[in-house]
Structure 1
């Protein structure tokens, strides 16, 4: 797919660093913009300040959780085309089905190691 401009939204700083490292290992040309606040990311999108090729989104976050973010994003015609890939520790089949029916393009279960994350992200960045 070769996404080059990526939003990563996750409230955990360690997961943000982990994701950025994996992106850097896969692509020297990819730009990864990280947000710990889903509301701030949504505001940038709505205002048209930045439009990424894809969004990697955690589910369990305060203020606006991943599912709420997904629904809000898909409600905007100018943003509904952006692929949203859920990246979460959750792997419940009902939740995955629900998120895909809400418009998620994919679902990845967060791995515990950088090598596994690089392998998960490879199809999206190369």
Structure 2
């Protein structure tokens, strides 16, 4: 089985650690990297030869927010079809609508359950047909 490359763009170290724990429980081999803001992510994506298969993007970050970063990722060569999943504490309708218009593949509201996180990531990586909004609380 081939390894899946995932990139998490999130400035919160606790969220990065929680995400890493969830990835370790996914029953597939995953290579995982992080960027702490949108600018760092754009630099990484522009210079790396290993394109991630999935990008998980937080909205609220310093320097370059998720909403600012998303269309810039889509403009990078080869990133027009890479799934970009918004991974945020927000479940506001306006954020969901904005991200869909900007080219997000899914909007995944952050959860506090490793089991739910692991199940959702497994479904995404397995290619299951999922709704745009995942685990919204509002």
TM-score by length of 2: 0.82
> Is 1:8 equivalent to 2:8 in the alignment?
yes
Aligned residues: CA RMSD: 1.8
Q: Residues 22 and 117 of structure 1 are in contact (CA less than 8 Å); yes or no, is this contact kept in structure 2?
A: yes
Q: Residues 9 and 34 of structure 1 are in contact (CA less than 8 Å); yes or no, is this contact kept in structure 2?
A: yes
CA distance in 2, matches of 1:38, 1:98: 17
Q: Residues 44 and 50 of structure 1 are in contact (CA less than 8 Å); yes or no, is this contact kept in structure 2?
A: no
Aligned to 2:99: 99
Alignment of 1:82-121 (within 5 A): 82-121=82-121
Shifted more, 67-76 versus 42-51: the winner is 42-51
Q: Residues 59 and 65 of structure 1 are in contact (CA less than 8 Å); yes or no, is this contact kept in structure 2?
A: yes
Provide the secondary structure at the position in 2 that maps to 1:62.
Answer: coil
> Is 1:45 equivalent to 2:56 in the alignment?
no
Unaligned runs of 5+ in 2: 127-138
CA deviation after TM superposition for structure 1 residue 123, in Å: 0.4
CA distance in 2, matches of 1:71, 1:56: 14
Unaligned runs of 5+ in 1: none
> Is 1:60 equivalent to 2:60 in the alignment?
yes
Provide the secondary structure at the position in 1 that maps to 2:97.
Answer: helix
Question: 1:41-74, CA deviations, whole angstroms, 9 ceiling, x for partnerless residues?
Answer: 2112122443100100100000000011101111
Alignment of 1:17-36 (within 5 A): 17-36=17-36
Question: 1:11-64, CA deviations, whole angstroms, 9 ceiling, x for partnerless residues?
Answer: 000100100110110135111111213211211212244310010010000000
CA deviation after TM superposition for structure 1 residue 3, in Å: 7.7
Aligned residues: 125
Provide the secondary structure at the position in 2 that maps to 1:26.
Answer: coil
